[in-house]
Structure 1
Amino acid sequence: MTLLLAGDIGGTKTILQLVETSDSSAIHTIYQESYHSADFPDLVPIVQQFLLKANTLTPEKACFAIAGPIVKNTAKLTNLAWFLDTERLEEELNIPHISLINDFAAVGYGISGLQEQDLLTLQVGKSQPEAPIAIIGAGTGLGQGFLIKQGNEYQVFSSEGGHADFAPRNEIEFQLLKYLLGKHDIQRVSVERVVSGMGIVAIYQFLRDRKFAAESPDIAQVVRTWEQQAGQEEKIDAGAVIGKAALEERDRLCEQTLQLFIEAYGAEAGNLALKLLPYGGLYIAGGIAPKILPLIQNNDFLLNFTQKGRMRRLLEEIPVYVILNPQVGLIGAALCAARL
C-alpha cells in the first residue's frame, strides 16, 4: 500500500485528504480535514498541522489541486498571497514527490475514480471508448478542460475556455451583452460573466433593471447586500439564493434568471462539444449544477446544447453527464499523486 496526500487548495478553503492506494485506480480515504486558507501564511503549516493531527507516517507522494494556472511547477493563488513551488514543498514537507495541478485538471483525473451513483445521465448518446472526454463546470467561475486517450490512460488538459467571448444568439442575449458592456465599462464580455455564480447575479441584475418582472423584497435585500459587499473576500452567495428561489418556483424574476442561465450554459457546453467531439462523454462539473439539478434536467439545457444547426445530429450522439460527487477534485488529486 502507498500513502498519498491529496489537496484541494482554494483562496477561501483548503481541503486535505490522506489516502492509501494499491494501484492507480483504487484509493481508500484514511483521514480528511478542511481549513480556512486565509488563517495561514502558506500551505506548509496547514499540511504540517494536518499530518500531526492525522498521527500517521509522512506520505510518499502528494498532489495539490490549485485554483489557478500552474507555470513550471509553481502556482500563485488568485485570491491569496501564496506562492507555491514543488521543490520548496518537497523539501519543507519531506515528501519525495509533489505535483501541483490546476483544480479543473483535477476534475479530469477524478472522472476515472467516480462510481455510477456519482453521475446523472442527461443524454445517453453513443459512447466511443477511444474518443476525447470534455469537462465544463460553472461555479465561482467557468472551468473547461478535456482528456485524450493515450495507451491505457487518459492525459488531462486544462484550458481557459471560460474566458472566451460570450456569443449572444437572440434578442434578449444581445440585450444582456450590451447591458454588461455598459455596466462594467468593458470592451468584451467573457462567457464566464454569464455562465457562473457571478453570472447568475449578473443576469438577475439585467432582468431586474430592465423590469422583466417584479422584484420580491427578500431576494432584493440579498442582492443589495451582495452588491454592497463587492470586492470583499467573503460575501453572501446571492447566486445560490436566486437559484434556490427559482428551484422552489416562488420568485418569477429568479425563475427567468435561471432560465436564461441554463440556456446559456447549454449553449456553451455545445460550443465546447463542437470543438472536441467528445464521444467519450461531456461531463458537467462545478458546484452549481447539482444544486439546481431539476432545472438542468429539463429540456432547456439539452435543447440549447444540441441547437447547432446542421451539427445537431452529431451533438445528439454525445453522452452528457452531471457529476454529483463534490469531491471529484480530491479524487483526481489522489489519482494524480498515485501516478507520480
Structure 2
Amino acid sequence: MTLLLAGDIGGTKTILRLVEASDQPLLRTVYEATYRSGDFLDLVPMVQQFLLKADTSTPQKACFAIAGPVVKNTAKLTNLVWFLDTERLQQELGIPQISLINDFAAVGYGVLGLDKQEVLTLQPGKLNPEAPIAILGAGTGLGQGFLIKQGDNYQVFPSEGGHADFAPRTELEFQLLKYLLDKHDIQRVSVERVVSGMGIVAIYQFLRDRALHGAASGERKIAAESPEIAQVVRSWEQEAGRQEKSVDPGAVIGKAALQKSDRLCEQTMQLFVEAYGAEAGNLALKLLPYGGLYVAGGIAPKILPLIQEDRFLLNFTQKGRMRQLLEDIPVHIILNQEVGLIGAAIAAARL
C-alpha cells in the first residue's frame, strides 16, 4: 500500500484527503478534513496539523490542485499570501514527491476516476476510446482543458480557453456584449464574463437594465425585476471589491429560475444555458472529443433540470455544416463536486 496526500486548494477553503493506493487502480480514503485557507499563513502548517490529526505515517507522495496557474513547480494563489514551491514543500513536510497542478488539470485526472453514477449523460454520441476527452466547467470562472490518450494512460492538459472572446450570435447577445463593454469600459469581453457565476449576475443586470430603460431587447420581452431578487443583487453590488460577499446572487437567481418563481431569473438562466451550450460546442469543434466532453464546475449540477432541457444541446450542436459531427460527441455532466480532489489523488499516484 502507498499512502498519498491529495489537496484541493482554493482562496477560501482547502480540502485535504489522505488515501491508500493499492496495486489495483483503487484509492481508499483514510482521512479527510476541510480548512479555511485564510486561517493559515502557508500550506505547510495546515498539512502538518492535518497529518497530526490523521495520526498516521508521512505520505510517500502528494499532489495539490491549485486555483491558479502553476509555473515551473511553483504557484502563487490569487487571494492568499501563499507562495508554493514543490522543493520547499518536500523539505518542510518530509514528503519525498510532491506535485502542484492547476485545479482544472485535476478535474481532467478526476474524470478518469469517476463512477457511472457520478456522471449524467446528456448525449450518448458515438464513443471512440482513442479520441481526446474535453472538459469545461463554469464556476467562479470558466475552466477548460483536454486529455490525450498515450498508451494505456491519458496526459492531461489545462487551457485558458475561458479567456477567449465571447462570440454573440443573436441580437440579444450582441446587446449583452455592448452592455458589458460599456459597463466595464473594456475593449473585449471574454466568454468567462458570460459563462460563469459572475456571468449569471452580469446577464441578470443586463436584462434588468434593459427592462428599466424600456429599450428594444431583441426577440424577447424582458420581465420586470422583483423586489426580493432586487434586494439580493443590490446587496452584492454594494459589496463590490470585497473579497468575501455576504450574498451569492448567482445561486439565488438560479434557484428562482428552477422554481419558476421569478420570470426575470428564468430569462437570465435561459440566456446563460444557451451561451454555455454554445461555448461547449466551440470547444468540441476545436478538439473533436469523441472520447467525451465532460461538463464540470459548481454550477451545472445545481441547475441540472435547466441543463437537461433542450437549450444546452441545441446550442451545442447548432454549428451549421458541423452539426452532425457534434451530434456524435458524447456529452456528460459531472455530478461529483469533489472530482478535482479525486484527480489530485490520481495524479499523486502517478508520480
Query: Which TM-score applies when normalising by structure 1?
Result: 0.99
Q: Deviations over 1:164-216 (max 9, x none)?
A: 00000010000000000000000000000000000000000000000121111
The answer as to whether partners of 1:63 and 1:98 remain within 8 angstroms in 2 is yes
The answer as to whether partners of 1:63 and 1:336 remain within 8 angstroms in 2 is yes
Q: Is residue 332 from structure 1 mapped to residue 343 from structure 2 by the alignment? A: yes
Determine the structure 1 residue equivalent to 2:52.
52
Root-mean-square deviation over aligned CA pairs: 0.6
Determine the structure 1 residue equivalent to 2:233.
223
The count of aligned residue pairs is: 340
Structure 1 distance, partners of 2:18, 2:123, is 35
Structure 2 distance, partners of 1:284, 1:318, is 13
Determine the structure 2 residue equivalent to 1:105.
105
Determine the structure 1 residue equivalent to 2:318.
307
Aligned AA (2:314): L
Aligned AA (1:255): E
Q: Is residue 143 from structure 1 mapped to residue 153 from structure 2 by the alignment? A: no
Q: How far 1:231 moved relative to its partner?
A: 1.5
Q: What SS does structure 2 have at the residue aligned with 1:279?
A: coil
Q: What SS does structure 2 have at the residue aligned with 1:15?
A: strand
Determine the structure 1 residue equivalent to 2:131.
131
Q: What SS does structure 1 have at the residue aligned with 2:112?
A: helix
Q: Deviations over 1:102-131 (max 9, x none)?
A: 000000001111001000000000000000
Question: Structure 1 stretches of 5 or more lacking a match?
Answer: none
Q: Identify which range, 273-282 or 213-222, moves more after superposition.
A: 213-222
Q: Is residue 321 from structure 1 mapped to residue 303 from structure 2 by the alignment? A: no
Q: How far 1:24 moved relative to its partner?
A: 6.7
Q: How far 1:229 moved relative to its partner?
A: 1.1
Q: Is residue 66 from structure 1 mapped to residue 77 from structure 2 by the alignment? A: no
Determine the structure 2 residue equivalent to 1:11.
11
Determine the structure 1 residue equivalent to 2:297.
286
Q: Is residue 239 from structure 1 mapped to residue 250 from structure 2 by the alignment? A: yes
Aligned AA (1:226): W
Give the alignment of 1:23-62 within 5 angstroms: 23=23, 25-62=25-62
Determine the structure 2 residue equivalent to 1:167.
167
Aligned AA (2:229): I
Q: Using the aligned pairs only, state the percent identity.
A: 81
Q: How far 1:247 moved relative to its partner?
A: 0.4
Structure 2 distance, partners of 1:112, 1:146, is 12
The answer as to whether partners of 1:162 and 1:191 remain within 8 angstroms in 2 is yes
Determine the structure 2 residue equivalent to 1:121.
121
Query: Which TM-score applies when normalising by structure 2?
Result: 0.96
Q: Is residue 86 from structure 1 mapped to residue 82 from structure 2 by the alignment? A: no
Structure 1 distance, partners of 2:282, 2:81, is 35
Structure 2 distance, partners of 1:230, 1:337, is 38
Q: What SS does structure 1 have at the residue aligned with 2:131?
A: coil
Determine the structure 2 residue equivalent to 1:262.
273
Aligned AA (2:68): G
Q: What SS does structure 2 have at the residue aligned with 1:292?
A: helix
Q: Identify which range, 17-26 or 82-91, moves more after superposition.
A: 17-26
Q: Identify which range, 222-231 or 269-278, moves more after superposition.
A: 222-231
Q: What SS does structure 2 have at the residue aligned with 1:70?
A: coil
Determine the structure 2 residue equivalent to 1:179.
179
Structure 1 distance, partners of 2:239, 2:273, is 26
Structure 2 distance, partners of 1:94, 1:131, is 39
Q: What SS does structure 1 have at the residue aligned with 2:272?
A: helix
Aligned AA (1:140): T
Q: What SS does structure 1 have at the residue aligned with 2:187?
A: coil
Structure 2 distance, partners of 1:189, 1:5, is 39
Runs of 4+ deviating beyond 3 Å: none
Q: How far 1:160 moved relative to its partner?
A: 0.3
Q: What SS does structure 1 have at the residue aligned with 2:157?
A: strand
Determine the structure 1 residue equivalent to 2:218.
none
Q: Is residue 203 from structure 1 mapped to residue 203 from structure 2 by the alignment? A: yes
Aligned AA (1:97): Q
Q: How far 1:80 moved relative to its partner?
A: 1.2
Aligned AA (2:298): G
